[in-house]
Amino acid sequence: MHKLNKYLVRDFLTVFAVAMLLITFAFTIGAIYKVIDIMARGISIGVVGRFFLYNIPYSLAYSIPISSLFSTLLIFGRLSSDSEISAMKSSGLSMWQIASPIVLISLVLVGICLYNNCIVYPSTTYANRKLIKGMGVEDPIKLLEEGRFIREFPGYMIYVGKKNKNRVRDLVVYEVDKDTGKVTGSVRASSGIMTADKEKAELKIDLFDVRIEIPDPDFPDDSTKTRYVNARNYPIRLDFNELLGNKNVSKKRKNMTIFELAYRIRNAETENAQLSEHDRRVENSRYLVEVNQRICLSLSPFMFVLIAIPLGITSHRKESSIGMVMSLGIMFIYYLFIILSDTFDSKLYLYPWLIPWIPIVGGQIGGFLLLRRAN
């Protein structure tokens, strides 16, 4: 039994290591293109190396589960094809005994993924954002993400409804007092075009079909005294020179560790006091979705191994192409639920934070039943 376990573990880890290297490389191709762009700007090799290394933990969050799934399908497909599974069972071993070393390895991978997904990769992605910002190579246009308030530009709070490259729609710009944090005016536009002038460190936004709201300075909270001005064209100039010099980069949800996310959830009322009750609940829902996605992604190696063992046996194939096709099919179904949880993160009545658990729980139950049947 000891020799059998050693044989299975060695084969599994060999295939797993090769698969993880290839998949991690595929995930980091985008980072490689950016590294080349950074090197062309004359940035030191040390900084470039840090940028590349900071991208690896995020890639591992996805490559470890995929590699465990592919490796298990391939190993047990080969064992079944070569009739080794039948030989093991005829010698008195149950499927639970045969599968136990691979299942134990998957639990170790779960522990690694939990630490990586909850602590390491959020910290390294945040460090990468600060690194890029410090180098001044980040395109300020990319800061304006659609569907969320942007507070990175000092003195402004910007909301973009839709964005396509440098064109935006349904844009709202709030002018904010730097000392008090109160809104002193706002500009709403149906569309706009953005242009970055890196020499002047200036982001130009030419707005069209504009409505400007100017509160009365003596009665800022009285909407009846607010003046409204309509304009066909209105230019806004945002100075990002101060932005680049500011080392305090605001954290997005993806950059927060599991402890920071938990703190935001527990203190939702104080952290989002400026929002309405409904908006607070929506924002809290998004943090809950992020937490549950991280945990479910960490548990996925165990679920994938449970499913892949009986599927690999029943496939009776040892070709890597079959294992890859089956892996892609299972991964598509799993990540579909992750995408759905992101899509419905504002639909509170759907409990979107529970959606990532559907494939995890269903996969584990299905895996146990299939293993029992194979036994």
pLDDT in tens, 246-304: 455 677 888 889 998 888 888 877 766 666 677 778 888 889 999 999 999 999 999 99
Per-residue confidence (pLDDT) for residue 137, from 0 to 100: 45
Per-residue confidence (pLDDT) for residue 320, from 0 to 100: 53
Number of domains composing the chain: 2
Q: Is residue 170 part of a domain?
A: yes
Q: Mean pLDDT lowest for which of 108-117, 140-149, 185-194?
A: 140-149
289 to each of 284, 338, 356, how far by Cα in Å?
9, 9, 8
At 39, the pLDDT band (50, 70, 90 cuts) reads low
Residue 289 and residue 217 share a domain? no
Per-residue confidence (pLDDT) for residue 106, from 0 to 100: 93
Look up the pTM and report it: 0.68
Whether residue 245 is predicted with pLDDT greater than 60 in this model: the reply is no
Mean pLDDT within 168-172: 86
Q: Is residue 294 part of a domain?
A: yes
Residue of 140, 151, 120 lying closest to 53 (CA atoms): 120
Mean pLDDT within 1-22: 84
Residue 123 and residue 10 share a domain? yes
Report d(CA 170, CA 173) in Å as an integer.
10
Residue 119 and residue 7 share a domain? yes
Whether residue 34 is predicted with pLDDT greater than 70 in this model: the reply is no
Residue 130 and residue 7 share a domain? yes
Whether residue 77 is predicted with pLDDT greater than 50 in this model: the reply is yes
Residue 200 and residue 172 share a domain? yes
Q: Which of 107-116, 276-285, 357-366 has the highest mean pLDDT?
A: 107-116
Q: Mean pLDDT lowest for which of 150-164, 181-195, 246-260, 315-329?
A: 315-329
- Which position has the token pair 């943090």? 287
Residue 203 and residue 318 share a domain? no
Whether residue 218 is predicted with pLDDT greater than 70 in this model: the reply is no
Contact 68, 106 (CB under 8 A): yes
Q: Is residue 259 part of a domain?
A: no
Report d(CA 70, CA 322) in Å as an integer.
10
Mean pLDDT within 16-43: 74
At 371, the pLDDT band (50, 70, 90 cuts) reads confident
Residue 130 and residue 170 share a domain? no
Residue 120 and residue 7 share a domain? yes
Mean pLDDT within 315-344: 76
Residue 129 and residue 10 share a domain? yes
Mean pLDDT within 57-67: 91
Residue 333 and residue 225 share a domain? no
335 to each of 109, 112, 358, how far by Cα in Å?
19, 20, 11
* Domain closes at, from 229, 247, 265: 247
* Domain closes at, from 247, 274, 307: 247
Tell me the β-bridge partners of 169.
Answer: 162, 191
Per-residue tokens: 74: 């391939």
Q: Is residue 274 part of a domain?
A: no
C-beta pairs of 324-327 under 8 Å, 24+ apart in sequence:
324/70, 326/73, 327/66, 327/69, 327/70, 327/73
**Degrees to nearest 5, angle at CA 367 with 361 and 369:** 105
Whether residue 177 is predicted with pLDDT greater than 60 in this model: the reply is yes
Question: Which strand ranges, in their side-by-side order, compose the sheet holding 227-239?
Answer: 149-150, 156-164, 167-176, 183-197, 202-214, 227-239
Q: Mean pLDDT lowest for which of 8-17, 46-55, 255-264?
A: 46-55
* Domain closes at, from 247, 268, 296: 247
Residue 121 and residue 47 share a domain? yes
Q: pLDDT by residue (tens digit) across 193-217?
A: 888 776 676 778 888 988 888 776 6
Q: Is residue 271 part of a domain?
A: no
Task: Count Cβ atoms below 10 Å from residue 114 Cβ, excluding itself.
Answer: 16
Q: Is residue 70 part of a domain?
A: yes
Mean pLDDT within 302-324: 74
Whole-number average pLDDT of the chain? 80
Q: Which domain holds residue 344?
A: 2-136+284-374
Whether residue 345 is predicted with pLDDT greater than 70 in this model: the reply is yes
Whether residue 174 is predicted with pLDDT greater than 70 in this model: the reply is yes
Q: Is residue 183 part of a domain?
A: yes
Q: Which amino acid is at 274?
A: Q
Q: What single string gives the DSSP state of each residue in 180-231?
A: T--EEEEEEEEEEEEEEETTTTEEEEEEEEEEEEE-BTTBTT-GGG-EEEEE
Residue 214 and residue 121 share a domain? no
- Which position has the token pair 């149906």? 190
Whether residue 317 is predicted with pLDDT greater than 60 in this model: the reply is no
Q: Is residue 141 part of a domain?
A: no
End-to-end CA distance of the chain: 17
